[in-house]
Amino acid sequence: MKFCFGNFELDHTAAELRLSDGQGVHLERQVFLLLSLLVQNGSRVTTLDEIVTKIWNDAPISDAAIASRVRSARAALGDNGKTQSIIRTIRGQGFRFELPVTRKADGSIAETLIINEGVAPSIAVLPFQAFGETEQAGVIAPALAHELIVSLSLTKWVTVIARASSFQLGSVANAQSVSEQLDVRYVLSGSVEINGPNLTVSPVLSAADSGQVIWADRYNGLIDDIFSIKADVTNSVVAAVEVHVPRHQAAEARRRDIESLDAWSFFHLGLNHIYRFTEEDNALSARYFKEALARAPNFARAHAGLSFVSFQKAFTGFGADRGVAARDALSAAERAMEQAPDDPFSNFVLGRSYWIQQDLDTAAHSAVQTP
């Protein structure tokens, strides 16, 4: 398989990078593997974890070693860390290839490599502010924020900035500043206040570009119940992100020209309709999920969304043969699992697809496997 971009051709089979005139460009093996990974992922962000897994097989590797290979890849393409016109650093996340890519098998006509998955919603969790009896609050506040980083990371679908990056900005940084420095779409901040035996935790979820608060809440209790309160806050914040971020993303997508939308935007539009449980909305969801897949054929969540659509047809009989719809639900769920076996949504729709076919043991197993 060959990938063409700019004045270059990357021959994956021969492990070579060539100029358009056929002249070879020397690359060390790890640099070639990195460039190949970035090119094949297209406009999707290639995370640091993915790089370590694919190139170093999860062996311990320093950030400096990764940065060195990125510099070499940029240099080979005539790019650099200042302009980042070809390989862009997405701070706290990874790297994204910026050029359009075409691909062709040996002897075949080149076809556009349609990978416009876009960037997954990203969030930075700031250390919570401490008020009242600040010695205790000063311990609880950063610990709670760290717990939220871990819990949000387990959702898999949202990109969470590492603590080392977000905590550097402090607890009072405004959302727009965080957006500029960390290139994120959402900011989670908040406060911890202790007055005598009483504890109050107030998390706030904001859109980073505008500073608009899209969700906030307050949790009150006794300091002796700190672990129970921490669990309540963590569960509520994760649930709020699951609900309010897709809703906000869908609202943003509706304000843009449809030609400019990426796969994630179409996915959130589909998700916004799927939970209305009407035949018309189910059909709209299918349309949006298919638009997402037209831009990113391996987008697991869009396949999972189509499985959800078919499940609803099978469950409610929305103008479809229920047996066919049940089989379609399972097929789409299996495709989602092929792309993202650790994604909770993919596991969820797979379990429901087995359930609708009365395969209860396999359905239960899928539910247990959900991270």
Chain position carrying tokens 């005139």 = 21
The SS3 of residue 15 is coil
Domain boundary residue, one of 86, 112, 138: 112
**Per the structure, how many domains does the chain have?**
3
Q: Which domain holds residue 90?
A: 2-112
* Domain presence at residue 214: yes
Q: Is 362 among the domain residues?
A: yes
Taking the C-alpha atoms of residue 297 and residue 263, their distance in angstroms, rounded to an integer, is: 9
Question: 94 and 58: one domain?
Answer: yes
* CATH of residue 276: 1.25.40.10
Which pLDDT value is given to residue 113?
45
What are phi and psi for residue 92, nearest 5 degrees? Answer: 80, -5
- Which tokens go with 187? 């900011």
Q: Which residue has the tokens 């969700």?
A: 215
CATH assignment of the domain containing 180: 3.40.50.10070
* Distance in angstroms (rounded) separating the CA atoms of residues 262 and 343: 20
Contact 55, 30 (CB under 8 A): yes
Q: Which amino acid is at 306?
A: L
| 176 lies in the same domain as 80 | no
**pLDDT at position 326:** 92
Same domain, yes or no: 103 and 126 = no
98, 131: one domain: no
311 falls within a domain: yes
CA angle 261, 267, 270 (to 5 degrees): 110
Query: Does residue 285 fall inside a structural domain?
Result: yes
Domain presence at residue 117? no
Considering the domain architecture, whether residues 347 and 267 belong to the same structural domain is answered as: yes
Please check whether residues 85 and 195 belong to one and the same domain.
Answer: no
In a shared domain, residues 170 and 134: yes
pTM: 0.63
One domain, residues 60 and 146: no
d(CA 159, CA 75): 28
pLDDT along the chain (371 residues), means of 10: 85 85 90 90 81 84 89 93 88 84 58 54 92 83 93 87 87 82 90 92 92 94 92 95 92 80 89 92 94 86 95 86 91 90 88 88 68 48
Q: What is the Cα gyration radius of the chain?
A: 23
pLDDT at residue 256, as a whole number: 80
Per-residue pLDDT at 110:
43
262 with 223, same domain: the answer is no
Handedness of CA 252, 167, 153, 231 (dihedral sign): negative
Last residue of a domain, one of 215, 250, 285: 250
- The reported pLDDT for the residue numbered 118 is 63
DSSP 33: H
Looking at the structure, tell me whether residues 310 and 237 fall in a common domain: no
Question: What CATH number does residue 73 fall under?
Answer: 1.10.10.10
Both 142 and 201 in one domain: the answer is: yes
Give the residue from 112, 143, 167 where a domain finishes.
112
Whether residue 25 is found in the same domain as residue 10: yes
